[in-house]
Amino acid sequence: MSIGKILLYYCFTPIEDPAAVMLWQRTLCESLGLKGRILISPHGINGTVGGDMAACKRYVRATREYPGFKKMEFKWSDGSAADFPRLSVKVREEIVAFGAPGELKVDENGVVGGGVHLKPEEVNQLVADRGGEVVFFDGRNAMEAEIGKFKGAVVPDVRTTHDFIRELESGKYDWMKDKPVVSYCTGGIRCEILSALMLNRGFKEVYQIDGGIVRYGEKYGNDGLWEGSMYVFDKRMHHEFGQGVTDPGFIQLGHCVHCQAATNTFHNCINEDTCRQQVLICDECAQHVATQHCGRPDCAEVAAALVAP
Ligand SMILES: [Zn+2]
Ligand SMILES: [Zn+2]
């Protein structure tokens, strides 16, 4: 029985011929039996692939042979090719869709003009030194922050990363332009870009966390500045640090959209035809069709119609 693994990785580096890299990566993954999703743009690569341990090792070795990817870090986690429906390797204008491909500048060292990278302990040091002046700025979709965020963090009103530029230029956050701002996201990739967009728009002191919430949570669990669960983009949908929900330091931030009970479980709205919303629904309400909707009146109607004979 072979052991399966999942690799998560990204790298910002100039790619002269993204189509050639795409074809090479697709052939490589196919030959190794890997499945998952890889995006390639003129600014770099972003991937999640799963397969046998030996195949993953070979993939890492081969991928690092490309000069721009030589120093790329791979994060290993448990899983396998079976965690993905297929292999998808695509060229895109952006590896994270901020809608700003022309603004992003990269060189061999990564993003040019991004925020200062902080290790988890340096984040705590910054807060210890500068206290209440420090602002945490959530670089994820607002929904993700419903179940967990840094203590006191500002959560911008974004449904997708496409909304960030509009938010940053709205004037809503001008009060923090002279303050130390720590941007953060799940694994760090979104803030590589977001922090540069902020600096370009007059935010003077912008930081980003090395390895994102994942690395911070691994280091401090529920005993640091992080509160609650971390949203994850797979079947689990949430992840807790330390000893999980039974950890004495764990705080449940999420609440059921119907009854306000504490929960960290997202569900897809039952009105799947016209609603793509994922909402927090407690275990009790999730058992009844009548409350398997997101709360929008038309979705509530769809649910009600399914209950009535
Ligand atoms: Zn409920
Ligand atoms: Zn809905």
Closest ligand to Cα 281: 1
Q: How far is the CA of 274 from the centre of ligand 2 (A)?
A: 7
Distances (CA, A) of 232 to 49, 181, 225: 15, 24, 19
Per the residue annotation, which of 11, 29, 56, 185 is the catalytic one? 185
Confirm whether 223 is domain-assigned: yes
Closest ligand to Cα 287: 1
Look at residue 309 and tell me whether its pLDDT is greater than 90: no
Q: How far is the CA of 161 from the centre of ligand 2 (A)?
A: 21
Structure tokens at 217: 């949570």
Give the mean model confidence (pLDDT) for residues 246-264: 94
Question: Please, what's the b/e burial string for 195-225 (b: 16 or more CB within 10 A of its CB; e: otherwise)?
Answer: bbbbbeeebebbbbbbbbbbbbbebbbbebb
Nearest of 219, 224, 287, 298 to residue 259 by alpha carbon? 287
Per residue in 31-41, pLDDT tens?
999 999 999 99
The mean pLDDT value of the chain amounts to 95
The count of domains in the chain is 3
Per residue in 228-252, pLDDT tens?
999 988 777 899 999 999 999 999 9
Residues 115 and 192 in one domain: yes
Q: Check which CATH number belongs to the domain holding 17 and give it.
A: 3.30.70.100
Per residue in 69-89, pLDDT tens?
999 999 998 889 998 999 999
Looking at residue 250, what is its pLDDT?
94
User: Do residues 196 and 111 touch, judged by C-beta distance below 8 A?
Assistant: yes
Confirm whether 260 is domain-assigned: no
The residues that bridge with 148 in the sheet, in sequence order, are: 228
Look at residue 1 and tell me whether its pLDDT is greater than 60: no
Chosen domain end from 60, 95, 130: 95
Q: What is the span of the domain harbouring residue 301?
A: 266-307
Closest ligand to Cα 256: 1
Look at residue 2 and tell me whether its pLDDT is greater than 90: no
Q: How far is the CA of 297 from the centre of ligand 2 (A)?
A: 8
pTM score, two decimals? 0.92
Looking at residue 83, what is its pLDDT?
87
Give residues whose Cβ lies within 5 Å of ion ligand 2: 269, 271, 275, 277, 294, 296, 299
Question: Please, what's the b/e burial string for 125-140 (b: 16 or more CB within 10 A of its CB; e: otherwise)?
Answer: ebbeeeeeebbbbbbb
Low-confidence winner among 49-58, 103-112, 176-185, 229-238 (lowest mean pLDDT): 229-238
Residues 72 and 153 in one domain: no
Residue 14 has a CB neighbour count (10 Å cut-off) of 12
Chosen domain end from 95, 130, 147: 95
User: Do residues 131 and 117 touch, judged by C-beta distance below 8 A?
Assistant: no
Confirm whether 283 is domain-assigned: yes
Question: Reduced to 3 states, what is the DSSP secondary structure of residue 205?
Answer: strand
Q: 140: pLDDT confidence band, cut at 50, 70 and 90?
A: very high
Per residue in 196-233, pLDDT tens?
999 999 999 999 999 999 999 999 999 999 999 999 88
Looking at residue 237, what is its pLDDT?
85
- pLDDT over 70 for what percent of the chain? 99
Structure tokens at 302: 């769809």
- 185 annotated active-site: yes
Q: Check which CATH number belongs to the domain holding 161 and give it.
A: 3.40.250.10
Looking at residue 50, what is its pLDDT?
95
- Read off the DSSP letter of residue 162: G
